[in-house]
Structure 1
């Protein structure tokens, strides 16, 4: 292993502990995060066609593997053709629950309070997802199942697939919207139209 790789492993090990602490502080914060979510309501902040739409397997042009770590994605940047349908294979190789979500920056920011509500209702725990709590939250306030087609929520070690047909001429990102993760740098850019 090269010196640079050893440095990266040591650096990331320390960063993982830091992000676990940041996540715990945010999750236990006395701030009433629900008040921020009150105005956001609906998950669909833009029409699906603004950010693309679920893809058809018959239209897939390529497969892209995405690995989520505790403070970044690998690869951190994607080049996608306008109108292209991509088969994503997403793996959570971190120690925390993470999300892979394709959206605009504004949509990501609007989604974070909804994710905070999932923490407050016991759906998202540090390293696991309580799907029974998600069902209960869904019944109480109308969301909690995290079942949007542009997004997957994974526990450590889990893998998921997502087929997505990209739009034309839209600024998109892929990000983890678990509170604190986006601001810590868990966001990647999507360049459309190469």
Structure 2
């Protein structure tokens, strides 16, 4: 090894800083939730969840519109679908602050809501979530291929705790 091949202390520190910054960019705790809409980064990741899987927009035969507002309520606050049904959920934010609509089991939503209290700027973007700025709408297309009782909620810190939760029933075939 020649003297020219030995990195300087400045280069080592710069490389370490770059690794730390890139590591922070990948950690959920460091990502910003903010008041911006989340843009689709590419194809929807299809991952089977207890309440279903991301659906294909062309197969949705029914649209359900849900309004959410600053009174920390969803309207309607109960949705019933049939097992195997692909539904387009249009989520409208009628309030003046950011809200979100997240599908899940009661246990998963409660755990995620606790994480959001600890890390309120956490960013997440899954096909079963819609982050909707004030006065705007978001869309989720979901295939409910597993029967059961689930929920939808706004997990922004304080909103879930204020009762911003709805019931979702998937009726067996």
Measured against the shorter chain, the TM-score band is 0.5 to 0.7
Of structures 1 and 2, the larger Rg is shown by 2
Structure with higher strand content: 2
> Counterparts of 1:187 and 1:99 in 2: how far apart (Å)?
11
- Look up the match of 2:144: 166
CA contact (8 A) 1:64 1:89 kept: yes
Q: Distance in 2 between matches of 1:167 and 1:104?
A: 14
Give the Cα–Cα distance (whole angstroms) in 2 for the partners of residues 114 and 55 of structure 1: 27
- Residues 80-159 of structure 1 correspond to what in structure 2 (within 5 A)? 80-119=81-120, 123=121, 144-159=122-137
Structure 2 distance, partners of 1:110, 1:64, is 26
Greater fraction helix: 1
Q: Please tell me the root mean square deviation across aligned C-alpha atoms, in Å.
A: 2.1
Q: Which runs of 4+ in 1 moved over 4 A?
A: none
Say if 2:32 is the partner of 1:54: no
Structure 2: distance between partners of 1:76 and 1:178: 17
The 8 Å contact of residues 102 and 128 in structure 2, kept in 1 or not, is answered as yes
Distance 1:111 1:48 in 2: 18
TM-score (norm 2): 0.66
Map of 1:26-37 to 2, 5 A cutoff?
none
**When the two structures are aligned, how many residues end up with a matched partner?**
127
- Structure 1 distance, partners of 2:123, 2:107, is 21
**In the TM superposition, what is the alpha-carbon distance from 1:68 to its structure 2 partner?**
0.6
CA distance in 1, matches of 2:90, 2:56: 15
Q: Which TM-score applies when normalising by structure 1? A: 0.60
Are 1:192 and 2:170 matched, yes or no? Answer: yes
Instruction: State the alpha-carbon separation in 2 of the partners of residues 183 and 167 from structure 1.
Output: 29
In the alignment, is the contact (CA less than 8 A) between 2:103 and 2:129 conserved in 1?
yes
Structure 1: stretches of 5+ with no match in the other structure: 1-36, 39-46, 124-143
SS at match of 1:96: coil
| Structure 2 unmatched ranges of 5 or more | 1-27, 30-46
3-state DSSP of counterpart to 2:49: helix
Structure 2 partner of 1:68: 68
